[in-house]
Amino acid sequence: MFRLLFISLLFPSALALNVPSITLKNAAVPGITMQAMGIGTFGYASHPGQKAEYWNNSVTATAVSAWLKAGGRRIDTAYDYRGEAGVGMAVLHQTEVHRSEIFITSKVGGLPPGYNDTLEQFQEILTQMNLTYVDLLLIHWPGPLPLKSSDPKCKLISGSDKECRQSSWLALEKIFKSGGAKAIGVSNFEQNHIQDILDLKSLVPSVNQIEYHPYWHEDGLVEFCQNHSIAVNSYAPLGTPDWGPDHRDWNSTILDLPVVKEIAKAHSKSPAQILLRWAWQKNILLNPRTWNDDHMAENLNIFDFELSDDEWKQIASVPKPATPKVCPDPHLIK
């Protein structure tokens, strides 16, 4: 069980909201903490006017600025999100919050890029955000092999998924040891993928960012990670409600489930707050994506109540649709 810490007086807005943090272990600078609530910055729409939220550098900068003003201090982005410049603009073009008080996560990939390409991508990440370091750097996906890579261990003919992610991890270790990232970890890694990193007998990931919500919650993977002092970070903790139910076989969004609405009413909270609290009660860090100021305030106010064991189990046992995941299934990656 992770020890919960409250943000120090350096974070007055977050402190007022009682937003807790988890102290990262393993491949992390001693004492570094990661706030429970962050903001995701990846949108699914490819152009304005589509049904889902549209995110680009401008939208990202506006949302991150609003997030910081609301008291949020953690931001999640990636090389593939096409919004990293917006993150940098928001962080650097404000004076209320010092950079040292802001926790920025980025990711290399999509697919594991291999040793040299990981180092090159990381320099592009810093350039895009106009920063000198990130707080957490992740390998975005465990595989499959990229179509192009300068790393022999990542080539389609001579390499393998395992060798490629191991090579990419060794590049992250170099970045960490050089001070480019205060912590390093992985994303979308299943137990066997993490074991490949453990087999290196070197640094252990500090974080595994995975999809986690009532339709898809791998509690065995969570237990495995936490037993190895790997913090678990949930993306899509609300599903993707901006998409609505018509892009998959979901008859309703998770927010619209009757049991979620009933529990929300009992606690005088919104359905979104119930779902976020549901994950947090397993010590799972959260990355809900929103550009709505009211939703940001809601997301930061889930720490003044608790769900009962029965309520947690009711939500965990909701009937699953045939396609329960938002993103592809990492189990399919060797």
Take residue 164 and report the two structure tokens written for it.
């490629």
Q: Is-catalytic flag, 115?
A: no
Q: Say if residues 104 and 79 touch (Cβ distance below 8 Å).
A: no
Choose, from 79, 81, 212, 235, the residue flagged as catalytic. 81
Spatial distance between the Cα atoms of 230 and 207, rounded to a whole number of angstroms? 5
Spatial distance between the Cα atoms of 38 and 215, rounded to a whole number of angstroms? 21
Q: Which residues contact 125 (CB under 8 A, 6 or more apart)?
A: 79, 84, 106, 108, 134, 137
State phi, psi for 283 to the nearest 5 degrees. 60, 35
Q: Which residues contact 113 (CB under 8 A, 6 or more apart)?
A: 121, 146, 149, 151, 154, 168
DSSP string, 79-148: GGGS-HHHHHHHHHT-SSS-GGG-EEEEEE-SS---HHHHHHHHHHHHHHHT-S-BSEEEES---S--SS
Catalytic residues: 81
